[in-house]
Amino acid sequence: MSRPWARSILSYRRGAYALGWGHERLTISFDLREALAEMRADGLLKLEPRPHPYGPSIVPDRASELLKRLHGRVSDRYAAQVNFVTADLGGKGVAELERLASALYVNETRGVTGGVEQRARTLVELKPHISGSDAGAAVEAVDQMMQRSRALVVKGAA
């Protein structure tokens, strides 16, 4: 599916951009930092301080409203997809997001096929700090999300 506004950015583990395998970690983190810096410079995003021990939140800035007005149809076209992601992932913490991102990585990038147990074992091999039961739950959750997301393919987007 083509997403004219999308960038390929992974979610990361603890701290600033800690998920990645091998040399990909640096490339992805620099891409993310660059994208965020560009959006801040354009007035689309700003940092909002949060109390200790949390870091700042990234929130929309003044120019984001203009962008919404100018390109509202694009965002309207993908509203169901955005709502799906925010509903499924918005309330999750860093550790759970890491497990889900890693399970998706095992499925999509590593191409591991087979049942939940086999994919969970692969996930634990990659991320030994994740328990087998948590890995299995993450694989099952990603399978369910992928199944539900099939209904969200935008017609005519290539």
Q: What is the pLDDT of residues 98-108, one digit of tens each?
A: 999 999 989 88
Beta bridge partners of 119: none
pLDDT of 87 over the 50 cut: yes
Beta bridge partners of 46: 59
Q: How far apart are CA 123 and CA 137, in angstroms?
A: 11
pTM: 0.62
H or E stretch at 58? strand 57-60
- Position 33 confidence tier, pLDDT thresholds 50, 70, 90: confident
Write down the pLDDT at residue 27.
Answer: 45
